[in-house]
Amino acid sequence: MENYVEFKDICKSFVGVKALQNISFRANGGEVCALLGENGAGKSTLLKILSGAQPADSGVYIINGDEMKFNSPVEAIRSGVSIIYQERQLVKELSVTENIFMEDLPSNRLGFVERKKAACETRKIIDLFKLPFSPGTKVKELSVAHQQMVEIMKAYRRNSRIIAFDEPTASLSDNEIGVLFELIEKLRQEGKVILYVSHRLKELFQITDKIVIMKDGCFVSDLKTKDATEPELIRLMVGRKIGDIYNNLDRNDNIGDVVLETKDMTNDYIKNVSFKLHRGEVLGFAGLVGAGRSETMRAIFGEDKLTSGEICVDGKQRHIRSPKDAINAGIGLCPEDRKEQGLVLGRSVQDNISITVLRQLSKAGVIDRKAERKMSENAVAKYQIKTPTVDKVVMELSGGNQQKVILGRWLSADLKILILDEPTKGIDVGAKAEIYKMVCSLAKSGLGIIFISSELPEVLNICDRVIIMKDGGIAGELTRNDVSEEKVLALAMHE
Amino acid sequence: MPWQCTNEHQENKKGVMPRHYDWYSVMENAKQGLRRKNIFKSNTVMMFIVLIVVVVFFTIMNHNYFSYGNMANILLAASTVGLLSIGQTYLIIAGHIDLSCGNVAAMSGVAVALLINGGVPWPVAIIIVVIASSVVGFVNSGLVNIFMLQPFIATLAVSSVCEGAAFLICNGKSQPVNDKVFTSIGTMRIIGIPFPAILMLFLFLVFGFILSRTVFGRSVYMIGGNPTASHLAGLNPKKISTILYIISSMIAALAGAVMTSKMHSGQPGAGSGSEFDAITAAVLGGVAFTGGKGNLLGCFIGLLIIQTFSNGLTVVNVSSFWQVVAKGLLLIAALVFDYVRQKKLMI
């Protein structure tokens, strides 16, 4: 019997906000169906409804001919639906086997676990997927990519008919993505229904058969991947033409003198990293995951100690031992992980913006509340952060707006250098375009900008110069005129 | 700005208030404001209502309850726990906790008595114990920040050490204080209000101001909400928490001195367990254990609810054992109620 899932008129609202309106489409077994849309388009909500985590207000979904309505994730799992979320649902202290058999470890009549049987089954699945670890390995010892594979094996072991992936490649390197795609292909060939949520258009062309586009909780259209083109998808997703988001950027041509220079920075993670950053320049850092890009930035920002080497700002050597020293030297950082490292999620937009400049906004330690409010409202207006008031809790904003809050934080700080570590990770096309514009305007204002991204097209188009890192060192440097995806990859992966 | 958004109108609808107000948008904003700024969303307001209900209830039961004298007594009874709860509120907001403060108070109370009986003038004795107790704060902070112990475990262990020390330094005997001036402070009243209560109110005001209005106070909230992000934004969570542990211990020492003065003797078993009452007051007042949330006004109201409640039960002749049970039930009720309310707002 062929697998399929069909959504019929699914509606869902949260206090007056319509998250989903009459969503209807069908995904067949043996095909990879992408769900595409900006953040807040309703993809995640739809997956949550399918997984039984949230009930739909109205509408049904039909799986292989049966009308279903799951009231809890357990029911969904029993009916063959597995969702692989961005945040992995694994118990890190337990072994691969225990995670794969999480909800029903094989046990004998007395309720004791049959370890050998479980390990044996796990071994079979691992071999099938050709993965290099053993059933007894603890999940915390695996790489992020392998942890993801464990999730997929879990879904496979459950014999799920429907497997949904929510942004599975967000934290994977290119090689790892290759392995993931092979697995997905395998599942597809076995006739499973695969739902695939991702912001990376390129991937969709690689792996999907069909693309369902959603916007503001509504179904926009579905089309065969082979008939689709990138500009068309963006147009459908955004509902307006962005055109080529890179071409319309108002780039800064006026590059000044050196503002940051590092000389032979070395510590446990990086070796002999030396580079120069000029005023008004956007300097890209490319490389595979683990090549030492973030580690270099951590060293510059005083998070990791240097064993040797020096950092000069404006030609003067600075001893940076903590982020505070870095900020005093005029360096700002938008960290890689917005939620963990960037924002205090439970506090207001205002608190998160003013955090770096609170000293300047206060007299004898007492905060000038009017000045603070004015400053944060300015940042909200300038960076077009969509929030009803600056008192709104940051947690409730969308990903793109959260990122803008972090950028807004550095607006009033007396900054010479701004480090952006994966600033567009997990945010939608519209918000990405706005971030690019911001980067250019900041460069125009004379800031030296370091731009790290795993998305190569972004690095190639935004940056004036690209430094490629590999194994903790600098593998090469390309200027805007002679940079190309092939050259960057060649340097990043060259043995 | 060198760049402008192409669809300004669309942006404005969801975005910040447009420069040119029209009636429609003013109304919309007002409506939204009312919905969002629902006064019942504020835990403090709700708890204040509960406090009033408690006071009104017991006044109906016994008309002497709401008298100046009885209210002053409630404040007096609340003063020791109240002092401890200041440090707790700060620490819990910052994502830490100090279980040692009750026993630091006991230890300091005995130490003050011993010092005074040994001939040290009482103001000097108080200053000595307050300063000496900062060592305990240092130790707590060191265990948490250098050896990375969980604050709960670290301060629990330190608490045990202090409890033992309190008994050791006086051989387990309570130490009556003979200094008349010192003992009169604890029982002194200014316009009918006991001095310990005045001291507590004063410290609540000072520390309330620091927490809500100063850069330091804001830092406490930020490190409690997300220490990693705060560190990357230039704050120093370890330094801030060290200061908080020291403040907590010093206030606890002061509370111990007040206790000794009030009871005319230093008693080694006196403060033990009061740290949990202090935590109860803070949590009842809306200080979240997850950190980053709460304020001292809430904590103060929580403190008053506990005291008015147990005092009320005494006034209507309910056994003191029931008061302890009631305190627990009160906390459970408050937390369950808070959870239900939060959930309603979320959906």
Q: Could you write out the DSSP letters of every residue in A268-317?
A: SS--SEEEEEETT-EEEEE--TTSSHHHHHHHHTTSS--SEEEEEETTEE
pLDDT tens across A147-194, in order?
A: 888 888 888 888 888 999 888 877 777 777 888 888 889 889 988 999
The answer to whether residue A339 is domain-embedded is yes
The closest alpha carbon to B219, from A163, A344, A490, belongs to: A344
| CATH code for the domain of A231 | 3.40.50.300
A306 in Cβ contact with A299 (< 8 Å): yes
ipTM associated with this complex: 0.81
CB B239: neighbour CB atoms within 10 A? 14
Tell me, what's the pLDDT at B296?
95
- Which of A14, A347, A409 has its CB closest to that of B221? A347
Please tell me whether residue B243 adopts helix, strand or coil conformation.
Answer: helix
Same domain? A140 vs A189: yes
pLDDT at position B347 = 45
Q: Which residues of B touch A366 (CB under 8 A)?
A: 213-215
Look-up of token digits 């005074």: B116
Local structure of A10: helix, strand or coil: strand
A27 strand-pairing partners: A5
Q: Judge whether A246 lies within some domain.
A: no
Residues 294-353 of A with CB under 8 A from B: 301, 303, 322-324, 326-327, 333, 335, 340-347, 351
Both A284 and A203 in one domain: the answer is no
Contact B232 A240 (CB under 8 A): no
Return the half-sphere exposure (C-beta side, CA atoms, 13 A cut-off) of residue A175.
10
Question: Tokens for A233?
Answer: 């998808």
Interface A-B, measured as beta-carbon pairs within 8 A, has a size of 108
Q: In B37-150, which residue ranges form alpha helices assigned H by DSSP?
A: 43-61, 68-93, 101-117, 122-145
> H or E stretch including A124?
helix A115-129
Could you tell me where the DSSP H helices lie in A130-173? 144-157
Nearest to A448 by CA among A355, A335, A319, A313: A313
Distance CA B238, CA B245 (A): 11
- Look at residue B5 and tell me whether its pLDDT is greater than 50: no
The token pair at B25 is 């948008």
pLDDT over 80 at B24, yes or no: no
Q: Is A346–B225 a contact, with Cβ atoms under 8 angstroms apart?
A: yes
Contacts of A40 in chain B (CB under 8 A): none
More reliable by pLDDT, B307 or A176: B307
Same domain, A234 and A264: no
What is the pLDDT, as a whole number, of residue A117?
Answer: 86
Q: What is the largest CA-CA distance in chain A?
A: 76
Q: Is A444 on the interface with B (CB under 8 A)?
A: yes
Percent of all residues in chain B with a pLDDT value above 70, rounded to a whole number:
86
Q: Which of A357, A358, A362, A373 to mutate to test the interface with B (most CBs of B within 10 A)?
A: A358
Give yes or no: residues A303 and A441 share one domain: yes
Average pLDDT estimate for B241-266: 96
Q: What is the CA angle B85-B90-B96, rounded to 5?
A: 100
Q: Is A140 on the interface with B (CB under 8 A)?
A: no
Mutate to test the interface with A, among B215, B236, B290 (most CBs of A within 10 A): B215
What is the structure's pLDDT at B2? 40
| Ramachandran category for residue A190: left, alpha or beta (phi over 0 → left; psi -120 to 50 → alpha) | alpha
> Which one-letter DSSP state was computed for residue B18?
P
Whole-number pLDDT of residue A244: 63
Task: Classify burial at B101, counting beta carbons within 10 Å of its beta carbon; exposed 0-12, middle 13-18, buried 19 or more.
Answer: buried
Looking at the fold, whether A230 and A301 belong to one and the same domain comes out as no
Question: Does B200 or B16 have the greater pLDDT score?
Answer: B200
Coil, helix or strand for B224? helix
Range from A353-362, B31-40, B62-71, B207-216 carrying the lowest mean pLDDT:
B31-40
Q: CB distance A386–B14 less than 8 Å?
A: yes
Hey, which residues does A331 pair with through a beta bridge? Answer: A417
User: Hey, what's the torsion of the CAs at B168, B172, B178, B181, to 10 degrees?
Assistant: 70
CA distance A69 to chain B (A): 20
Stretch A40-68: mean pLDDT: 85
Question: A410 with A440: CB under 8 angstroms?
Answer: no
Task: Over range A477-484, report the average pLDDT.
Answer: 87
pLDDT reported for residue A294: 87
* Cα of A77 to nearest chain B Cα, Å: 25
**CB < 8 Å from B in window 184-213 of A:** none
**Residue A40: band (very low, low, confident or very high) from pLDDT cuts 50, 70, 90:** low
- The pLDDT mean for chain B works out to 86
Q: Which of B216, B232, B347 has its CB closest to that of A365?
A: B216
**Which pLDDT value is given to residue A333?**
93
pLDDT of amino acid B18: 40
pLDDT for the residue numbered B37: 47
Tens of pLDDT, residue by residue over B114-145, are 999 999 999 999 999 999 999 999 999 999 99
Domain with A430, as residue range(s), is 258-493
Q: Using an 8 Å Cβ cutoff, are A399 and A345 in contact?
A: no
List the single residue in B with minimal CA-CA distance to A388.
B16
The SS3 assignment for A48 reads helix
Average pLDDT over residues A311-340: 91
On chain B, the residues whose CB falls within 8 A of the CB of A410 are none
Round to whole Å and give the CA distance between A465 and A476.
11
Structure tokens at B4: 């402008």
How many domains, chain A?
2
Percent of chain A with pLDDT over 70: 96
Tokens of residue A3, six digits: 């697998």
Residue B85's Cα: distance from chain center in Å? Answer: 3
Helix B274-284 crosses helix B296-315 at what angle (to 10 degrees)?
Answer: 110
Q: Greater confidence, B219 or B2?
A: B219
The answer to whether the CB atoms of A365 and B215 lie below 8 A apart is yes
Considering the domain architecture, whether residues A62 and A110 belong to the same structural domain is answered as yes
Task: Flag whether A250 is in a domain.
Answer: no
Stronger pLDDT, A289 or B186, i.e. the higher one: B186
Q: Please indicate whether, in this complex, the C-beta atoms of B222 and A347 are within 8 angstroms of each other.
A: yes
Q: Please say which residue of A179, A207, A238 terminates a domain.
A: A238
Q: When comparing pLDDT for A202 and B26, which is higher?
A: A202
Instruction: Give dist(CA A306, CA B225) in Å, integer.
Output: 29
> What average pLDDT does this structure show over B92-116?
96
pLDDT band of residue B16 (cuts 50, 70, 90) is very low
Same domain as A426, residue A291: yes
* List of chain A residues whose C-beta atoms are within 8 Å of the C-beta of residue B29: 388
Q: Tell me the pLDDT band of B19, cut-offs 50, 70 and 90.
A: very low
Contact between chains at B36 and A14 (C-beta distance less than 8 A): no
Angle at A432 between CA A426 and CA A438, to 5 degrees: 130
Of A102-111, A301-310, B157-166, least confident by mean pLDDT is A102-111
Residues in B lying within 8 Å of A, measured between beta carbons: 1-3, 5-7, 11, 14-16, 29, 32, 36, 213-216, 218-219, 221-222, 225-226, 228-236, 290, 292-293, 347
The shortest C-alpha distance from B210 to chain A (Å) reads: 8
- Entry pTM: 0.78
Closest C-alpha to A264, from A316, A213, A299, A314? A299
At A325, the pLDDT band (50, 70, 90 cuts) reads very high
**Whether A335 and B229 lie within 8 Å, measured CB to CB:** yes
Domain map of chain B by residue range? Answer: 80-321
- For testing the chain B interface, which of A240, A254, A298, A384 should be mutated: the one with the most B CBs within 10 Å? A384
Among B197, B249, B164, which Cα is nearest to B80's?
A: B197
- Is there a contact between A216 and A41 (Cβ–Cβ < 8 Å)? yes
**Which residues of chain A have a CB within 8 Å of the CB of B232?**
301, 303, 323, 333, 335, 341-342
A337 and A450 share one domain = yes
Report d(CA B195, CA A170) in Å as an integer: 61
For B259-281, the pLDDT digits (tens) are: 999 999 999 988 878 999 999 99
Residues of B in contact with A430 (CB under 8 A): none
Give SS3 for A330.
Answer: coil
Q: Is the distance from CB of A450 to CB of A417 less than 8 angstroms?
A: yes
Specify whether the CB–CB gap between A362 and B215 falls below 8 A: yes
Backbone angles phi, psi at A82, to 5 degrees: -125, 135
CA distance B27 to chain A (A): 14
Distance from CA of B10 to the nearest CA of A (A): 11
The reply to whether A30 and A60 lie within a common domain is yes
Residue A413, phi then psi, degrees to nearest 5: -70, 150
Residues 241-280 on A with a CB inside 8 Å of B are 250
Specify whether the CB–CB gap between A256 and A278 falls below 8 A: yes
As a whole number of Å, the end-to-end CA separation of chain B is: 38
- Provide the token pair at B228: 């990693």
The vertex-B240 CA angle with B235 and B242, nearest 5°, equals 145
| Mean per-residue pLDDT, B59-80 | 91
Determine contact: A91 vs chain B, CB below 8 A.
no
CA B149 – CA A40 distance, rounded (Å): 40
Predicted confidence (pLDDT) at residue A284 exceeds the cutoff of 90: yes
DSSP state of B65: T
Please report, for residues A51, A233, A307, the alpha-carbon distance to residue A208 in angstroms, rounded to integers and kept in the order given.
Answer: 21, 14, 47
Same domain for A132 and A13? yes
CB contact under 8 A, A441 and B14: no
The mean per-residue pLDDT over the stretch A223-244 comes to: 75
Do A234 and A292 lie in one domain? The reply is: no
**Cα separation, B126 vs B108, whole angstroms:** 9
| Pairwise CA distance, residues A201 & A199, whole Å | 6
Which amino acid, residue A171? S
Is residue A243 domain-resident?
no
Model confidence at B38: pLDDT above 80: no
Asked if A226 and A310 sit in the same domain, the reply is no
